Structure 1
């Protein structure tokens, strides 16, 4: 009976060994944009493969204290370190590289003749644009118009939004990460200014 119990225990250990190893820190290089003091990943290099970005990474220094990223607000940076479950990242300060300002929203469709572009899932600082320009104010048409003017167009001609989180409230320079947040699914701009 003891031998059977020992064999069963060893079998269970082998069965779950892969899952236990998956929670170990992984050496990675993360590139992203600092928005609201948080690193939002564009790309994660695991060495053997890359992963798509869009994750809000909580960055800590070697002693476990939060890494202050405020000096890099609005900048694209790269760090190497160890990534833990829950998007917790222990960064190695000596590996920090600053690449310049964050990318602006990218035009994602070709505009019809005589009109401006359509931005699908528009982003600002790599985060979906909120449907309000300020928290709970200047929503929908007003926010879409300001987004288009910010990108060189006279205003918006059409837009839609849906529940999404996080979103970026451009007018307040802040992130909405609550269940009630809504971001634009597209904004169609008018003619150039």
Structure 2
């Protein structure tokens, strides 16, 4: 697939996600057909707390506690009235059906929630743009998305916090799948790469 075709796909993805976030707006943040929260701050705290407990007694217990402290210390970044929007929450390449540069379908919406759109944007950025430093693809996606939803002031700072929260998912996958999850060599190398990435995020703030 050519560079221009990739740009076209990310332009279409930005439009699709922007339409999803702009059309489906709610009064409260919540898990679908489940508990509602007084604020996104409370919901995000609950999500993180449940994730952190998964690392008790594992090789990631100390690192998990460090992440937890950082996130709790920075909750003030999301202590404001966000617009609760419908989020798919798993828009990696495997869940996006494409034919001739056209997005024809989206799969696997079982993790969908009603929450802060930036939380989903961070997950998309990490899944599609982070590893290969694809800034032009990111810019195309964000430009298209912003035609439907404007980002709140301070997005870049919150993006770092949300990015760190996403690393908890990678840590859990590492524990669950071990060798199968190691992408860049041995399990030990993958673990060190993961720890170094997390420490960089924490130390840059």
Query: Normalising to structure 1: TM-score of the pair?
Result: 0.24
Larger helix fraction of residues = 2
Larger radius of gyration: 1
Compare the two structures and name the one with the higher strand fraction: 1
Work out which structure has the larger RCO, using CA pairs closer than 8 Å and 6 or more positions apart in sequence.
2
